[in-house]
Structure 1
Amino acid sequence: MQLLALFDLDNTLVQRDLAFGAWAAEFAAEHGVDAAWLVAADARHEGPRGGFFDLVRDRFGLGASGEQLWRQYRRRMPELVRCRGEDLAALAGLRAAGWRVGIVTNGTTGNQLGKIRNTGLDRHVDAWCISEDVGLRKPDPGIFRLAAARCGLSADGGGWMVGDSLAHDIAGGAAAGLRTAWITRTGAAPDPRPDIAAGSVAEAVEALLAAA
């Protein structure tokens, strides 16, 4: 199997939920609203984030439109996300061992690209695919195949998809013909079942290197 590893971005390579909590605290302090409600509503929300801010506006009777709130959020979130140092080092180790490394993420281009660049991930990967930019969303197998191609390889030659979402990363990666590594902090029995489970990107990379 060829040395290809594709990674999800939010809550895999970057600590998105921690960043959202920081954003929610800032937003709550500025507008006098309930930060806990924001965090809980975010956890329940599926799909693109734009509609989430219509809910926020309506819930708290804010004067700004949902679109204005959404734009403000997109500007701020890339400044708040962090990537763990040990995970960046693990990516560097993969590439030093001859692997091609890519990112596959759903989301808006500006927001996700800001996260990739602000955390330094752009210097640790060969390519990325962002759903808004390429017109494909996980779990569509096409976005994984495109990411592989941008890394200079074909998904037909095999490789790995690493991510925290069973529906998007594990099912989608498997449908594209990739082996899968699930980033989990729950210990729950997964369905669909990944090839491996790990508590962090660094732990997953260690398993990928051992499997190779």
Structure 2
Amino acid sequence: MTNVPAGGTDLLADALTLTAPGPVLLTGFDVVLVPQGHARTAVARLDALRPTAVGAVFTHEGHWGFLLPEESGDPAWPTPARYASAGTTLTMPPAPRPGAGAGWIRWGHGPIYTAPLLLHAVLADIASRHHPGDGPAVPPSAHVHLLEPPTMSSPKTAFFDLDATLTDQATSFRRWAEEFATRYGITPKEIHDAEVRSAGHRDRFFTELKAAHGIRSSLAALHAQYRQRTAELVPHRPQVCTAIRSLRDDGWRLGVITNGDPTTQRQKLRRARLDDLFESVVISGEYGIRKPDPDLFRIALDALGTGSGFMIGDDLDADISGGSRAGLCTVWVSGGRNLPSAAPIPDHTVRDAVDAVKLLREHPHA
């Protein structure tokens, strides 16, 4: 590992000519493999090591692998990390295509960790020195070259929440409430107060209104009518459509990740005139899992064939916590709210979806 610069800011590789040597005996460094969904936890652990001791990070079969100094497994890496110490063998990952920069990351204000090419070069060098039966060892300088780091390619992938992020949920609810109040002789204030007390839980909301005003319709009927009518009353916001379209036209791959009933959520997209702007729409009701479960985000990532990107949403638990656990860069749509003290911390905060698009244009690297 003497050829690996401190901090991993330079790239060692001959990507065009190296071939995989197969299982390699580790010497001079250890490796820890971490599932992608736990990468943020792993980086926090790395921060406890000397910054110059971390050589690289590579991706392989759904895991992130870190080159570490020897005996860095004490204290033990937490499950589900898999730790391989010097003296054990590691199967060579396939070499990435030349120029690939997807493995390059900077986490916070720490060092830059390098791409899979670095591991490929280092292990090829080790293989040449640990297979004496293949002939004399080739000096590392003969096949490992010091290159300028490649320009980091932008993933240009973003996922948006639907309710209160892409759509104006407050206006839709207000329009429905006016109709409902007229039908049942309830004042808008009474509906507003019931909404505040129920904190958005529709079962409690309709149970209170039924009891207070003698409404004879069943809870199921009231809820079904509410879902259908609020979807129909979603307003078209031209500025949001223009912003999203500009991202798509600029080469961004866009998806929606939303909780809810599939029919209702797709109706909202149509009413907002957003349905033709997204390559993928993942709705919890179609999969039996809901945000913040990271598996729903992974379904969306798989739909676009990517492992990284942005998650933009208004819900700190469902969108920000869930997106972060899935390894996405998170953008909180605050609507002017202050971040609660105990809430998950987003990577970025904006006021609305239009401002989120401006942020993505200025900072396209997730």
1:109 lines up with 2:262 in the alignment: yes
**Maintained 8 Å contact 1:140/1:172:** yes
The answer for the alignment partner of 1:12 in structure 2 is: 165
Greater Cα offset, 95-104 or 76-85? 76-85
Kindly tell me the number of residue pairs found equivalent between the two proteins.
209
Partner AA of 2:278 in structure 1: V
Give the deviation of 1:43 after TM superposition.
4.2
Superposed CA RMSD:
1.8
Structure 1 unaligned segments of length 5 or more: list them: none
Change (3 A) 1:40 1:134: farther
**Matched residue SS, 1:38:** helix
Match status 1:91 vs 2:244: yes
1:122 is paired with a residue whose SS is coil
Matched, 1:140 2:290: no
Contact 2:313 2:319 in 1 (8 A): yes
Q: 2: CA distance between counterparts of 1:126 and 1:43?
A: 36
Shift of 1:46: 5.4
> Could you tell me how far apart the structure 1 residues matched to 2:305 and 2:199 are?
31
Q: Which residue of 1 aligns with 2:230?
A: 77
TM-score by length of 1: 0.90
Per-residue deviation, 1:29: 0.7
Tell me by how many angstroms 1:47 deviates: 7.0
Q: Which runs of 5+ in 2 are unaligned?
A: 1-153
SS in 2 for 1:123: coil
- Structure 1 residues 105 and 48: alpha-carbon distance in aligned structure 2, compared to 1, 3 A threshold: farther
TM-aligned CA deviation for residue 41 of structure 1: 2.9
Q: Percent identity?
A: 38
Give the C-alpha shift of residue 7 in structure 1. 0.6
Structure with higher Rg: it is 2
Q: Give the distance between the partners of 1:42 and 1:6, measured in 2 at CA.
A: 29
Could you list the runs of 4 or more consecutive aligned residues of structure 1 that deviate by over 4 angstroms after TM superposition?
A: none
2:333 matched to which residue of 1?
183
Contact 1:5–1:99 under 8 Å retained in 2: yes
Tell me the secondary structure at the aligned position of residue 197 of structure 1. strand
3-state SS in 1 of match to 2:331: strand
Contact 2:160-2:256 at 8 Å conserved across structures: yes
Written as runs of structure 1 = structure 2, the 5 A alignment for 1:140-179 is 140-150=293-303, 152-154=304-306, 157-179=307-329
State whether residues 13 and 83 of structure 1, in contact with CA within 8 Å, keep that contact through their aligned partners in structure 2: no
1: distance between equivalents of 2:292 and 2:197?
19
Asked if residue 209 in structure 1 is aligned to residue 361 in structure 2, the reply is: yes
Per-residue CA deviation, residues 86-143 of structure 1 (Å, 9 max, x unaligned), is 1111111111111111111111222111101222111111111111122111111111
Q: Contact (CA 8 Å) 2:236, 2:271: kept in 1 or not? A: no
Matched, 1:125 2:278: yes
Q: Is the 8 A contact 2:321 2:344 kept in 1?
A: yes
Q: Determine the C-alpha separation between the residues in 1 that align with 2:246 and 2:321.
A: 26
Distance in 1, matches of 2:257 and 2:195, equals 21
- Greater share of helix residues, 1 or 2? 1
Equivalent residue for 2:212?
59
Point out which structure has higher relative CO (alpha carbons under 8 A, 6+ apart).
Answer: 1
Q: Per the alignment, do residues 138 and 67 of structure 1 end up closer, same or farther by CA in structure 2, a change over 3 Å counting?
A: same
* Counterpart amino acid of residue 258 in structure 2: T
Asked if 1:40 corresponds to 2:193, the answer is yes
Question: Which amino acid letter does the alignment assign opposite residue 162 of structure 1?
Answer: I
Deviations 1:21-48 (A, max 9, x none): 1111110011101322323333454576
